[in-house]
Amino acid sequence: MYQSIKVSAISLKPIKWDKASNADKLEAFFVEAAKDMPQLILATEGVLEGYVVMDVIEGRTTPEAMLDIAEPLDGGYIQRFQRLARQLKTCLCFGFAEQCGNSVYNSAVFIDSDGEIRGTYHKTQFAEGTHPSWNFNCIGETIRAFDTPFGRAGILICNDRWNPLIARTLVLDGAQFLLIPSYGSKGKSQNQTVLARARENGVPIVEANVGMNLIISKGEIVAYKWGNDQISTADIDIPHPPSTEAARHSEQEYLQAQGPEMEARYQKTIARS
């Protein structure tokens, strides 16, 4: 038992440290993607500030610069995309450096088609690691699903996808689909990993990565596009919440398919004998 929705993913590559240009580019791509009338559009990790944390870690700039460019959740740039979501009548999700007091989190926000913030997530697994002294790269403290117009959703950010426990925790919290804004790791192994997360948990996944998009539904890739600044659109089937009725439906779906499959395997066995 599923609910089908149309989604889009944008492999938008931002410009480092150019928040104004990135916001203009993001808005233009959201408007373009909306022409296919998706109910949800996902963009990449760190899309506002340009994913600049490594510039701080490697000493090319200061933690203060990171704090200055980070955006508070109630800031003007987020409000801009709340207005855009209302205008386009679609849900928007994207990653950005979030300013929380004197700390910065690698964050993502989900805005519904009424312009309301339905959920946020702070990244909990970093390829570069982190330290309590790094106020510019703070680790998230919760892994929670949230309600959307299409059921409960969960967000992972980039490197989070390599840890199966993060996705599993979100699904145990009721997530019926997962969103992954990313910046990097575009190879075959990352695609296989995201596919594994979808199959392990029985949920669709939408990933927008700098350099590629990946959309998975019912354990299969339904859209994939390589390259920066590309838009991919596809339907995903969101499973209904766990229930006896849903379990019996899944049981019958499986058993009905097994009859022909077992017959085909039987014929191969006989042919080899």
Coil, strand, or helix at residue 102?
coil
Check: CB of residue 206 under 8 Å from CB of residue 6.
no
Which 8-state DSSP code applies to residue 241?
A: P
Q: Under CATH, to which class is 2-240 assigned?
A: alpha beta
- pTM for the whole structure: 0.92
Alpha-carbon separation of residue 110 from 48, 116, 269, 270 (angstroms): 14, 8, 51, 54
Tens digit of each residue's pLDDT, the chain (273 residues): 899 999 999 999 999 999 999 999 999 999 999 999 999 999 999 999 999 999 999 999 999 999 999 999 999 999 999 999 999 999 999 999 999 999 999 999 999 999 999 999 999 999 999 999 999 999 999 999 999 999 999 999 999 999 999 999 999 999 999 999 999 888 889 999 999 999 999 999 999 999 999 999 999 999 999 999 999 999 999 999 888 888 888 889 888 989 899 999 989 999 998
